[in-house]
């Protein structure tokens, strides 16, 4: 039976990172951009936890915990802005957001 090692987790993390990067590059609307950002952050968390487990140190797991906390606050603020933008402009298209003038 094959054992799952560090390389398997790092390959999974790389695949998730690539999926998130493609999602950010395509960026059709703001909600998909948030989802792609979350996938990027989760790929980093997988790598942190896998390396932390491999070396027997809790530092990577603590970093992953802080990344999760920061991602949660980012989602809360981002979704609040998304709802406000949708109420005012009735769409969440990123191309219409590039015309914002301060």
CATH number at residue 81: 1.10.287.3510
Cβ–Cβ < 8 Å for 16, 39:
yes
Whether residue 64 is contained in a domain is answered as yes
Quote the CA–CA distance of 93 and 15 in Å, as a whole number. Answer: 27
The domain in which residue 77 lies consists of: 11-97
Whether residue 29 is contained in a domain is answered as yes
Whether residue 4 is contained in a domain is answered as no
What is the average pLDDT across 4-8? 91
Look-up of token digits 């998304």? 82
Query: What is the tally of structural domains in the chain?
Result: 1
Poorest-pLDDT segment among 7-11, 28-32, 34-38, 84-88? 28-32
Q: pLDDT tens across 28-60, in order?
A: 778 888 889 999 999 999 999 999 999 999 999
Q: pLDDT tens across 15-31, in order?
A: 999 999 999 998 777 88
């Amino acid at each position: 039976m094959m054992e799952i090692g560090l390389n398997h987790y790092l390959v999974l993390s790389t695949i998730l990172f690539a999926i998130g990067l493609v999602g950010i590059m395509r960026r059709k609307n703001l909600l998909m951009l948030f989802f792609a950002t979350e996938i990027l952050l989760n790929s980093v968390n997988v790598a942190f936890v896998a390396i932390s487990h491999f070396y027997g140190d809790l530092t990577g797991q603590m970093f992953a915990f802080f990344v999760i906390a920061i991602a949660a606050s980012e989602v809360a603020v981002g979704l609040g802005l998304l709802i406000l933008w949708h109420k005012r402009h009735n769409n969440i298209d990123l191309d219409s957001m590039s015309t914002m003038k301060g």
